[in-house]
Amino acid sequence: MKFFIDTANLGDIAEAQALGVLDGVTTNPSLMAKEGITGAENILAHYQKICDLVDGDVSAEVISTDFEGMVSEGEKLAALHPQIVVKLPLIADGIKACKYFSDKGIRTNVTLVFSAGQALLAAKAGATYVSPFIGRLDDISTDGLNLIAEIRQIYDNYAFDTQILAASVRHTMHVIDCAKLGADVMTGPLSSIKGLLKHPLTDIGLAKFLEDYKKGNQ
Ligand code: E4P
What's the rounded Cα separation, in Å, for the pair 210 and 150?
47
Mean pLDDT over residues 181-207, rounded?
98
Mean pLDDT over residues 145-162, rounded?
98
> Ligand 1: which residue has its CA nearest to atom 6?
168
What's the rounded Cα separation, in Å, for the pair 134 and 146?
9
pTM of the model: 0.96
What is the atom index within ligand 1 of the atom nearest the CA of 188? 6
Residue 218: what pLDDT? 81
Counting ligand 1 atoms within 8 A of each CB, the residue from 2, 3, 6 with the most, and so the one to mutate, is: 6
Mean pLDDT over residues 73-95, rounded?
98
Residue 198: what pLDDT? 97
Work out the pLDDT band at 137, boundaries 50, 70, 90.
very high
Question: C-alpha dihedral over 155, 161, 166, 168, to 10 degrees?
Answer: -110
Cross-strand partners of 2: 185
What is the atom index within ligand 1 of the atom nearest the CA of 135? 10
Specify the DSSP class assigned to residue 174: H
**DSSP strand pairing (185-188 vs 24-26):** unpaired
pLDDT tens readout for residues 4-57? 999 999 999 999 999 999 999 999 999 999 999 999 999 999 999 999 999 999
Residue 16: what pLDDT? 97
Residue 63: what pLDDT? 97
Mean pLDDT over residues 162-174, rounded?
98
What's the rounded Cα separation, in Å, for the pair 195 and 175?
10
